[in-house]
């Protein structure tokens, strides 16, 4: 008999649609890195798609409940129960979700005009892509292999760097919409010095990737560097726009 928990509706079409935009690069980059064939996606399809869709559903719920302290999504509880029943939930995956909750709090803090620091911005930047971290760890669990923390760390930093770069072309629109954007928050702190500070931060992230890879097996170091090179060939570093000073008050 199917457990009732598997019958509970938890995601909207909108969440499912947004999940597809995340899963496409995830399959392209992570499957290629681990030598998983694209047609094998359907072995992992239910867990990865359901998890990512539910995360987007949770994201929208938190956006609608930013004024409520200690808000907890019922959909997250359902997702946790299902992952636990499938022996896919562990403390590290729970911590990735906890990081996501921290991000929601930081996002609300920085977009509401409250004081914040560069350390807040760095934490938000790292925790914003918690869904990739969840999917990455689930891929290990689904394949039945132990985590390689050095590889996970290198990817995590790479994801943070890619997220910063994705924010640059959207900077002006994000200012108008008053939403979180890493460069926007750096500009609020440093005004005219923001481009220089961002360059320094990107250099810091590159250095952290090298440090993380130092502890990874040689084959993974080589494959990661190749993946980074191919990514950079496809997506050059975007131009850093001038800070919008009217938003930096």
The per-residue pLDDT for 216 is 87
Query: C-alpha distances in angstroms, 16 versus 21, 46, 128?
Result: 9, 12, 19
User: Tell me: the pLDDT tens digits for 164-220?
Assistant: 999 999 999 999 999 999 999 999 999 999 999 999 999 999 999 999 999 888 889
> Does the pLDDT at position 62 exceed 80?
no
Assign 233 a pLDDT band (cuts: 50, 70, 90).
confident
Q: Considering the chain, what percentage of its residues have pLDDT values greater than 70?
A: 95
The per-residue pLDDT for 122 is 97
Three-class SS string for the chain? CCCHHHHCCCCCHHHHHHHHHHHHHHHHHHHHHHCCCHHHHHHHHHHHHHHHHHHHHHHHHHHHCCCCCCCCCHHHHHHHHHHHHCCCCCHHHHHHHHHHHHHHHHHHHHHCCCCCCHHHHHHHHHHHCHHHHHHHHHHHHHHCCCCCHHHHHHHHHHHHHHHHHHHCCCHHHHHHHCCCCHHHHHHHHHHHHHHHHHHHHHHHHHHHHHHHHCCCCHHHHHHHHHHHHHHHHHCCCCCCCCCCHHHCC
The per-residue pLDDT for 1 is 55
Q: Say whether pTM exceeds 0.85.
A: yes
The per-residue pLDDT for 215 is 84
pLDDT (average), residues 230-237: 79
User: Tell me: the pLDDT tens digits for 152-178?
Assistant: 999 999 999 999 999 999 999 999 999
> Does the pLDDT at position 66 exceed 80?
no
The per-residue pLDDT for 28 is 87
The per-residue pLDDT for 31 is 92
User: Tell me: the pLDDT tens digits for 136-158?
Assistant: 999 999 999 999 999 999 999 99
Assign 241 a pLDDT band (cuts: 50, 70, 90).
very high
Q: Which two tokens stand for residue 240?
A: 């850093």
> Does the pLDDT at position 87 exceed 90?
yes
- Of 224, 243, 227, residue with least CA distance to 175: 243
Residue 102 · residue 123 · CB < 8 Å? yes
> Does the pLDDT at position 30 exceed 60?
yes
The per-residue pLDDT for 72 is 75
Assign 67 a pLDDT band (cuts: 50, 70, 90).
low
């Amino acid at each position: 008999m199917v457990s009732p928990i598997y019958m509970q509706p938890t995601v909207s079409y909108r969440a499912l649609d947004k999940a597809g935009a995340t899963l496409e690069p995830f399959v392209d980059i992570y499957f290629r890195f681990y030598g998983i064939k694209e047609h094998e996606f359907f072995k992992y399809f239910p867990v990865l798609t359901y998890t990512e869709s539910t995360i987007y559903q949770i994201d929208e719920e938190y956006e609608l409940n930013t004024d409520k302290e200690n808000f907890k999504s019922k959909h997250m509880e359902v997702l946790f129960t299902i992952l636990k029943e499938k022996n896919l939930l562990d403390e590290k995956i729970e911590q990735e979700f906890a990081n996501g909750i921290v991000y929601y709090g930081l996002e609300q803090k920085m977009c509401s005009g409250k004081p914040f620091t560069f350390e807040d911005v760095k934490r938000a930047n790292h925790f914003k892509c918690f869904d990739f971290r969840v999917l990455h760890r689930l891929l290990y669990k689904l394949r039945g292999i132990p985590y390689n923390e050095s590889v996970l760390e290198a990817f995590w930093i790479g994801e943070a760097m890619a997220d910063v770069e994705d924010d640059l072309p959207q900077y002006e629109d994000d200012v108008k919409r008053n939403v979180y954007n890493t460069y926007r928050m750096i500009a609020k702190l440093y005004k005219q010095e923001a481009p220089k500070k961002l360059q320094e931060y990107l250099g810091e992230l590159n250095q952290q990737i090298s440090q993380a890879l130092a502890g990874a097996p040689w084959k993974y170091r080589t494959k990661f560097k190749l993946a980074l090179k191919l990514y950079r060939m496809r997506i050059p570093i975007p131009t850093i726009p001038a800070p919008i000073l009217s938003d930096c008050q």
